[in-house]
Amino acid sequence: MNDYNPRHKDRLDPRAGLNITWGALDGIYSILFLAAALTGVYFGSARIFIALSNRQLLSENISNISFIVLYGIQVLLMMGVVWFVALHKRKGRLRDLGVRYYSIGKTLWYTLISLIAIFAISFIYVFVMNSVFAIEAPASKIEILIKNRSISNTILLVVVAFIGPVIEEVFFRGFLYSAFKKNWGVLPALFLSSVLFSIVHLQLYSFVPLMIIGWLLAYIFEKTKSLFPAIFLHGVYNLILILILLGQFEMINMY
């Protein structure tokens, strides 16, 4: 009797393709829903926190509280959409989102090469914008938060270097890129997912570098069929940036 089972082999072979059961329309509807929901949450919660602050119903840690609450809602919404559409409605598996093992050695190699490329491209971009177009790089949102000391360094470090990369890679690469690729192919999926990744960061000056980073992360996901290399690269890159900013403003003390 032949006991060969292609589904069993697919589970064991890390090089096997992903079985994407959700499509481009699912991705588009998810983006529209998140845009509407997060816009309402941010505007509504801003009024609530301002009102509570004016009435002294919250402590001086209102910035930390509001940041945690708002970011927590964002995480729940993004992961909720992925769960509902990909796993519940379309009966996909975590493995099909890219949640599976990949070689540690290759992950470290991809990370090293990618970081060199990212920092080189960023340096060239800033140089061109400054020397050719006379446009100085504005302070990033994280830089402003650190400079104003409005959010705990510990919270920023955990969110930026650990939670953020996991959530963003699951949504933009595992879910969104895969949805676009299923209907439109690799190149359109690389382009669209990276553009959307750049847009949601709301940093006009850094739009091109962020798009390139998003493209690179999606390419690594496409090549490895695993989210772990992309998450690791994303996390290390963010960790380097935030440690540089913390050192720049002499705020290394995490407590």
Q: Which positions of the chain have pLDDT values less than 50?
A: 1-15, 57-58, 60, 251-255
- Looking at residue 2, its pLDDT comes to 43
Alpha helices in the chain (DSSP H): 6-12, 24-54, 62-82, 104-131, 141-148, 153-158, 164-168, 178-184, 186-199, 207-224, 227-248
Query: What is the spatial distance between Cα 98 and Cα 69, in angstroms, rounded to a whole number?
Result: 28
Cβ density class 77-103: b for 16+ within 10 Å, e for less: bbeebbbebbbeeeebeeebbbebebe
**How far is the C-alpha of 197 from the C-alpha of 193, rounded, in Å?**
6
How do the domains of the chain map onto residue ranges?
Answer: 6-248
pLDDT for residue 94: 96
The pLDDT score that the predictor gives to residue 247 is 81
Whether 206 contacts 140, CB under 8 Å = yes
> What pLDDT, on a 0 to 100 scale, did the predictor assign at position 242?
92
pLDDT computed for residue 46 by the predictor: 64
Residue 63: its pLDDT value, please? 74
Cα atoms in the 13 Å half-sphere on the side-chain side of 76 = 8
Taking the C-alpha atoms of residue 110 and residue 233, their distance in angstroms, rounded to an integer, is 8
pLDDT digits (tens, 9 = 90+) for 89-123: 999 999 999 999 999 999 999 999 999 999 999 99
The answer to whether the beta carbons of residues 90 and 21 sit under 8 Å apart is yes
pLDDT of residue 6: 44
> Please, what is the average pLDDT of the chain?
86
